[in-house]
Amino acid sequence: MKLFLKPVEFKRDCFDSLLEFLEEHASTQVFSVSCYKGKLHLQNSVSQALKTFSLGEAIASRPQLEVLVRLSAERQISKALARCKPGKRAVFVSWSANADKDWRDFKKHCDFKEIKLKEPSKEKQLVAIEETATFWL
């Protein structure tokens, strides 16, 4: 699975527009940079979410929400939503075959600039992956 991810900084509040975008794009998510623990962690979270969803073992009702549950390592959806709710700085991710189109559509919905994020060390990412994999125990 290939992920398309872009860190962004919103120039103004576009939360309603963002929710509309996410309703139309089932293979995308936008979440707070505080939930971003690195590319490996993100890839693992999306992969786990899609796997549990396909097996009928998901906690959430939609893959997008299951991704947040995995990213946040939080079983309660309301807590995962609160923890990962995008603020001024966020991460756009798409796991769609049409990720480029999703990105272009996202640009139409929200006013933002692309930013750079420092990638956490591999060790920190592995710790986050372990938390994501074992949060339900």
- Looking at residues 98-114, what average pLDDT do you find? 95
In the chain, the domains with their CATH numbers are: 4-134 (3.30.2380.10)
Rounded Cα distance, 30 and 6, in Å: 10
The pLDDT of residue 137 is 64
User: pLDDT tens-digit profile of 7-39?
Assistant: 999 998 888 899 999 999 999 999 999 999 999
pTM here is: 0.93
